[in-house]
Amino acid sequence: MAKKNIWVINQFAGTDKSGWGERHYFLSKHWIKMGYDITIISGSYNHVFNNLPDAPNQYNIEDVNSTRFCWIKVPKYKGQSVKRFWSFFIFMIKVLFVPIKKVGKPDVIIISSMPIFPVFTAYLLKKAHKAKTLIFEIRDIWPLTLIYLGDVSPKSLAVRLLGWFEKFGYKKADYIVSLLPNAKNHFEKVANAGHKFVYIPNGLDHSVLSVEPLDEEMEKQFPENKFIIGYTGTIGLANALEYFVEAAGLLKDDSRFHFIVIGDGYLKNDLIKSSEGFDNITFFNKIRKNQVLSAVKKFDVCFVGRNDSPLFEHGVSANKYFDYMLAGKPILDSNNHIKDPVELSGCGIIVKPESAEAIANGVKKLYESGDQSLKEMGRKGRRYVEEHHNLKYLAEKYASLFEEEEG
């Protein structure tokens, strides 16, 4: 019996060397072991990759440890540039002409958003190649993210355009896989598609995890004999780091504490400027994925922040939770009790969002709770992530959709 060919269309999909977007690459390792043939169709450029693929041609086929990648040539752009959306449209069109002779016809098509536009192309491809199943994967809910975090009017052209593609995708997909545990009601509200919802969050796999030490120069800059509160990840609007930096300011005269931010993003320079005069906060550039665990192990407490927004009522699924929890570190979580891994596991404390004072008080509370309490929180987090976010289990759950009849 011929192997089923699974196409994953995700313009931001990467390898373990890309520094971003590894979800489908790691899932593919398990799918291949199950007997599936995997093609991941991604873009030649995106602003979040540390390492860009070698993609001189319009369609570039590369074998990455038995996972086939097809890198589609797309225009370069800056993170907040309008050209980013032009890149999305170019990718959407070019996906139609992926060389079938080199990658094979799909039996199952997974289209992962954001960007959301290729869901239209994926539907056309399903019909053209008589694929059995179309799976629409929602990592973030658009256009709600634009409305709530970007403060864009629901009546704007951009929101209405994104909304059309969103509704189209929900209606045409056989399944809607989401990384957000509470997204079902949204799918029902938009397109009467709640019955298509399948929850498959992010996960991790110890078998493919290799830990690299930090660069020597960076290692030297970590302060000694301080209670370190750290953050690793993207520095953008959704991470609410302005309140984290403000909390550092509130504690700048308390010599016990030091704050660390590791990562890049369009708001980083603003945060650095706002912390001028603070000697209790250090900013580092983005590090390699395999170095994250080495950095997190140097923290006493890890920080996760969210805005006070209805957007997060649908839940969250950020990889930084798993990095923190795998390291066995307690988490200071600034949000509105959104049933995230911290709340579900008991691996930290939750303080109200958008409040530097609440974050500062949370830091002092964790410090005063003592080493044993912090270690127990860390153990709870590690146990939870190993049980509920095991990538092998998640890959098997996903693969069950490849075999079911159309929804």
Mean pLDDT of the chain: 90
Predicted confidence band at 239 (pLDDT cuts at 50, 70, 90)? confident
- pLDDT of residue 315 exceeding 70: no
22 and 109 in one domain?
A: yes
pLDDT of residue 254: 97
134 and 29 in one domain?
A: yes
Q: What residues make up the domain containing 366?
A: 208-388
355, burial (CB in 10 Å: exposed 0-12, middle 13-18, buried 19+): middle
261 and 188 in one domain?
A: no
352 and 222 in one domain?
A: yes
pTM of the model: 0.78
Predicted confidence band at 171 (pLDDT cuts at 50, 70, 90)? very high
126 and 53 in one domain?
A: yes
165 and 224 in one domain?
A: no
231 and 281 in one domain?
A: yes
Rounded Cα–Cα distance for residues 12 and 68 (Å): 15
357 and 230 in one domain?
A: yes
pLDDT of residue 207: 59
Predicted confidence band at 208 (pLDDT cuts at 50, 70, 90)? low
pLDDT tens readout for residues 105-151: 999 999 998 889 999 999 999 999 999 999 999 988 887 777 766 77
83 and 214 in one domain?
A: no
Give the number of other CB atoms < 10 A from CB of residue 207.
10
pLDDT of residue 406: 47
pLDDT of residue 136: 96
Domain count for the chain, please give it.
2
Give yes or no for a contact between 347 and 331, defined as CB atoms under 8 angstroms apart. Answer: yes
85 and 218 in one domain?
A: no
139 and 81 in one domain?
A: yes
Domain at 212, CATH number: 3.40.50.2000
123 and 232 in one domain?
A: no
Q: Work out the average pLDDT over 201-225.
A: 84
- pLDDT of residue 87 exceeding 70: yes
Rounded Cα–Cα distance for residues 66 and 245 (Å): 43
Strand 67-72 and strand 59-64: the pairing is antiparallel
pLDDT of residue 49: 83
